[in-house]
Amino acid sequence: MSGPSGALRPRIHVHRGTVVAAAFWFHPGTLGATEARARVLAAWRPGATVWALAGGHLLRLATPCTVAVDAAPGLPLVLESGVLTSAPLAAKERERLAPPPGAVVLVHEGVARLHVPGELRQVDLGAWLDVSGWQRMQVKGLGAPPPTMRHMLAPVPPPTREWFGPGVPALAPEAQRMLALMEGRGEVVVARREGWLARLRRAFSRRPGETVVVRREGLFARLRQAFSARPAAAEDIATAQRRERSARVRRAFGLKPEAGSGTAMTVRRGGLFSRLRQAFGARPAGSSDTAMTVRRGGLLSRLRQAFGAKNTMTAPSSARPAAAAGSAMTVRRGGLFSRLRQAFGADSAPSGTGPGSSSPLLQALRSWLGGGASESQSTQGSQPARTQAPPRGPSAFERMKAWMLQHTPLGPLVGKRKGDYLRNLLEMFEEGRLDEALRHAIPLGKDPDPQAQLALGVPGPREQLRIQPRGSSGSAQVFGGGPAVFEALRERYRTTFRRLEREGRIDEAAFVLAELLNAAEEAVSFLERHGRLRLAAELAEGRELPAGLVVRQWLLARDVARAVAIARRGGAFADAVLRLEKSHPREAEALRLLWAESLAEAGNWARAVEAVWPVTSARHLARAWVERGVHAGGESGAKLLVHWMLGFPDGFSTARGQVEALLSDTSPERAPERLAFATELLREEPSDAQAALLVPTFRALMRDRATQPSLALDAILKRLRAVKEPAMAALRTDLPTPKESSIPVWSATPHVPTVRVTLEENDAGAHAVHDAVVLPGRRVLLALGEAGARLVDADGRTLAWFDVPAFALVISTQGDRALALARRGDVWRLSRLDLVARRASRWCDTELGAWAPTYDGDRWFVAVRDTVLMVDALADDLRSLWRVPKVGGAVLELAVDEQHLSFLVLHLSEDQDFRRLERWGHALEGGPTLRHRAELAGVAWTPDIHTLTADGEAVAARSVAPEGETPSRGDVLSPFVSRPNHVVPRTEPLRVGLVLGRGWSLTRFSAGTSRTTSLRDVVGHLRASVEFTGTPPQVVRLGEGWFIVHDLMGRVVWLDLHSGEVHRVPVA
């Protein structure tokens, strides 16, 4: 701002009469703060912005308006040569101020003050409105609500044990807990036990052969035992009755019978009173028929032992009996307090096992598990070697847990528990108790959670029977076993699998493959070999195997609808056909026909013909597709013309007129079609019909080479000259060898003069154009709002009129069909346009938030609130093939191509304040799979300019940066593929829009009544500029090989990105 000294006092202080105002200034000192704000809100229109200026409020209009100065709501400012002025300045006055473009000259109190763009601070009008007393009401439309989108493919859950039949027992609770620890998930909730009354009722209904589980006695049972004081004589009389009742009750509560004649010993923790009695030496004599309690000594007993008292009774480790063969053994995890006492007390674990457990496998296990204590004690005071941390690093709890595992008795406790579990598991396998072993078996080969690396990693082999989770062991030693133990378990599982297969227990054998060995593909093949086709398909899909394999299995299971839906979702037809051809040729041919039919319904005629062509008996079905593809035109139509000529007996005679019209046409727009025709012709097998087409094709290409030097024809001309045909030999003798063209194409010459196009207001058309796309053959499809959609040729002549409302267009990649969108309140009305048959039909009404501007004719990606969906564009109603629900915010933009899907997610707080902006990237091959997720870290505000490419390049910006804000690199994300990034300026004056493509970018500028679109290449060179004069904003679209600019005044211009040619489309 100019200072007070040397201030300019212009001769005229305000504008007079009627002016075209681009802004208004409201001064609270004159109007009052309340009145000034009220006038600003009354004059505000969508697209306008408010800025703090000289103690007042500057309202910049989106579209200038004509107003009388004496009736204006505020002081009008006029845009003159890119500068807003509140008074007409003389030439000398303007020269003295020298205002830069975008500046504001305000005459106040007789002094002209200059304000440059960086001085202005944008005002949030929302802060002026007090809505605390308002109540939000839920409104509902009077019409019928739009139908909800149905999901065609209900996801198949991952396979469970129940899938493999009743022969596979449920996973034991101890195995569930151990598996949770392996995967870093902590404790899991197991099945809820029976109620108290139900167990009492079952206690008096004896069932032979019930499985008894070793567990701790209940509170009342322990109290009864602690205070039992029966006389000896009475106990002799009541012993049988008491034991009978006790056995039934214990079976009801899952306890083992009391120790006695012919019964197993109850390994349990002593009750509170019994522990007190033992601590003070009050244990009664003559307890030979009572259950022995293997437990840790109490506090007083430990003190007596520490000071030399030897009269404390302890149970030696050798006194622990082995479990009887055939009985179930459950390794139960102690409670919280018991684990804490064990962690800080003496280790009461048995130091050995019985002599019957000395197999070579167990000896190898002991040799690895043992000896870790001394090794760990020697390294306890040293720091472990630093390893590369995960991207986010371990949490505070994980670091504390690692310290406790290395420096407290918790480490030996965890290691002992794992060692006991592995030993018991291997004993079950060796003793042939397969049902129990399968209940306790833990899967191998799963990738653990990163948390499990710290909790379960252990060092190398040890000498003692104990797992020591200290040190780093690498990803192959997650459970703590290292390669040796894992190989031992894997070999045991393999042996079990072979045994189950020999016994004909197919489902159980498949379970061992899929669940324990994690060999899902082998399990699928095994199930298919034994006729379990549906289970094989469910397993393949539940384990997320390659999409081609999943399609193959569902087709063999005779669920054709699901097979086709999965193939369409993941584009897996080709892979599935290859997997079927060797083993099931008939099914492969059937899938080829389904594939070709799906492509034909999507309008991809060329690929449909290629898919069905290997099936000789079905080539008659391709005849209609060939004719429709030729009629659609474009390069794919030229390729299909070759199939028509050479692939059918009557093709040469019926398609001869089409070929002559193509080769004799001299228009430059059809030169790429002739090149595609020649390329496809050389791919065909030599024949008389092909030889007859060589010479006219060669002559047409030579003509195009002379008239279209930018078209790359030298390579195909060399190939045609090398064909060994008599006609071509004669032609070679008459024609000299053509020299390679040295004229580069326009797209590859960045230093040529910039292409500039300017359209005035008198160039307006008859209809407002809301959207436009360029089609093959230089045709253009126009969206005219309620007037429908119109297909025109390069000269603007109408080829077809579609009587459906069209405000936005979604074009197929083949260019032969489109979707027309029109807003109807809160929903959008969707219509289908067939550009070949030239007919339109209404599709449905649905809610849409964002959508991809293109689709492949089969799948269309849209966003509804916080859900991204893949819509089945061929279904009669609205259905989704795939979805990502609850992405965390509103989806701003989607971009898609043949390989990638990307979208931007705006995260807001509960108060609708900006939190962050994220980019998600999916790979489409084999089904959409999330591959990339990143945050635009430098964005701290809701952007009003954002753009995105399908391969993930994203830019977020503001049209005007607030005062004091420094642009950062964080508002740009590089693509997740290897290609150069666009050079995009962080801030550009008067920029209002940005569009990125693979090799080009479009930037929209707005200055007064001038609207300009600039085309730049990747490195930032300005290649073209399209300027419209008038008030409506420009609408731009960037496609493959073209970009188009239009507005609501009916002006349409598009530029060929290959040749640089400009085409104006009249809208009559």
> Contact, 704 vs 674, CB < 8 A?
yes
Contacts of 829 (CB under 8 A, 6+ apart): 805, 821, 822, 823, 842, 844, 845
What is each CA distance from 474 to 388, 412, 456, 459, 477, in whole angstroms? 11, 20, 10, 9, 6
Provide the token pair at 640: 């299909």
Higher local confidence (pLDDT), 514 or 485: 514
d(Cα 233, Cα 237) in Å, to the nearest integer?
A: 7
Mean pLDDT of the chain: 76
Edge-to-edge strand ranges of the sheet holding 890-896: 890-896, 900-908, 914-923, 929-935
pLDDT value at residue 418: 73
1000 has which bridge partners? Answer: 1017
Q: 968: pLDDT confidence band, cut at 50, 70 and 90?
A: very low
pLDDT value at residue 942: 85
Provide the token pair at 511: 């379970």
What integer is the mean pLDDT of 398-416?
A: 74
What integer is the mean pLDDT of 727-733?
A: 71
For residues 646-657, one letter each, b for 16 or more C-beta atoms within 10 angstroms of the residue's C-beta and e for the rest, the string is bbbeebbeebee
What integer is the mean pLDDT of 391-405?
A: 65
Q: H/E element holding 31? A: helix 28-31
What integer is the mean pLDDT of 984-1011?
A: 87
Q: 689: pLDDT confidence band, cut at 50, 70 and 90?
A: confident
Here the contacts of 649-653 (C-beta below 8 Å, separation 24 or greater) are 652/689, 652/692
pLDDT value at residue 344: 43
For the ranges 25-34, 81-90, 755-764, 977-986, the maximum mean pLDDT occurs at 755-764
What integer is the mean pLDDT of 23-45?
A: 88
pLDDT value at residue 833: 96
> Contact, 645 vs 655, CB < 8 A?
yes
Query: Of the given ranges (349-363, 418-432, 443-457, 1035-1049), which has the lowest mean pLDDT?
Result: 349-363
pLDDT value at residue 407: 75
pLDDT value at residue 5: 46
pLDDT surpassing 80 at residue 840: yes
pLDDT value at residue 721: 81
What integer is the mean pLDDT of 988-1006?
A: 90
pLDDT value at residue 795: 84
pLDDT surpassing 90 at residue 202: no
pLDDT surpassing 50 at residue 81: yes
DSSP state string for 772-835: EEEEGGGEEEEE-BTT-EEEE-TT--EEEEE-S-BSEEEEETTSSEEEEEEEETTEEEEEEEET
pLDDT surpassing 70 at residue 633: yes
d(Cα 838, Cα 816) in Å, to the nearest integer?
A: 10
For residues 433-467, one letter each, b for 16 or more C-beta atoms within 10 angstroms of the residue's C-beta and e for the rest, the string is bbebbbbbbbbbeeebeebbbbbbbbbebbebbbb
Alpha-carbon 216 to chain mean position: 48
Higher local confidence (pLDDT), 386 or 943: 943
Burial class (CB in 10 A: 0-12, 13-18, 19+), 211: exposed
pLDDT, tens only, 785-830:
999 999 999 888 999 999 999 999 999 999 999 999 999 888 999 9
What integer is the mean pLDDT of 62-67?
A: 85
d(Cα 120, Cα 815) in Å, to the nearest integer?
A: 47
pLDDT value at residue 267: 40
Q: Three-state DSSP class for 290?
A: coil
Higher local confidence (pLDDT), 1040 or 273: 1040
d(Cα 300, Cα 233) in Å, to the nearest integer?
A: 34
- Share above pLDDT 90 across residues of the chain, in percent, rounded to a whole number: 31
Q: 529: pLDDT confidence band, cut at 50, 70 and 90?
A: very high
pLDDT surpassing 50 at residue 360: no
pLDDT value at residue 756: 95
Q: 230: pLDDT confidence band, cut at 50, 70 and 90?
A: very low
Query: Of the given ranges (332-341, 663-672, 914-923), which has the lowest mean pLDDT?
Result: 332-341
Provide the token pair at 71: 């009736």
What integer is the mean pLDDT of 299-310?
A: 45
What integer is the mean pLDDT of 652-670?
A: 88
Q: Give the residue from 756, 761, 765, 757 showing the smallest Cα distance to 1009.
A: 761
pLDDT surpassing 60 at residue 224: no
What integer is the mean pLDDT of 998-1026?
A: 91
pLDDT surpassing 60 at residue 383: no
Q: 1045: pLDDT confidence band, cut at 50, 70 and 90?
A: very high
> Contact, 591 vs 580, CB < 8 A?
yes
DSSP state string for 159-201: P-GGGG-TTSPPPPHHHHHHHHHHTT------PPPPPHHHHHH
What integer is the mean pLDDT of 98-118?
A: 84
pLDDT value at residue 327: 37
Helices and strands, counts by H and E, the chain? 33, 38
Q: Give the residue from 855, 955, 869, 856 showing the smallest Cα distance to 904.
A: 955
Q: 481: pLDDT confidence band, cut at 50, 70 and 90?
A: low
Higher local confidence (pLDDT), 429 or 679: 679
pLDDT, tens only, 112-124:
888 887 777 888 8
pLDDT, tens only, 533-564:
999 999 999 888 999 999 999 999 999 999 99
d(Cα 842, Cα 815) in Å, to the nearest integer?
A: 19
pLDDT value at residue 554: 95
Q: 314: pLDDT confidence band, cut at 50, 70 and 90?
A: very low
pLDDT value at residue 829: 95
> In the chain, where are the structural domains located?
18-128, 546-744
What integer is the mean pLDDT of 625-639?
A: 89
The DSSP secondary-structure symbol of 332 reads P
pLDDT value at residue 718: 84
pLDDT value at residue 492: 87
Higher local confidence (pLDDT), 395 or 689: 689
Alpha-carbon 652 to chain mean position: 49
> Contact, 67 vs 78, CB < 8 A?
no
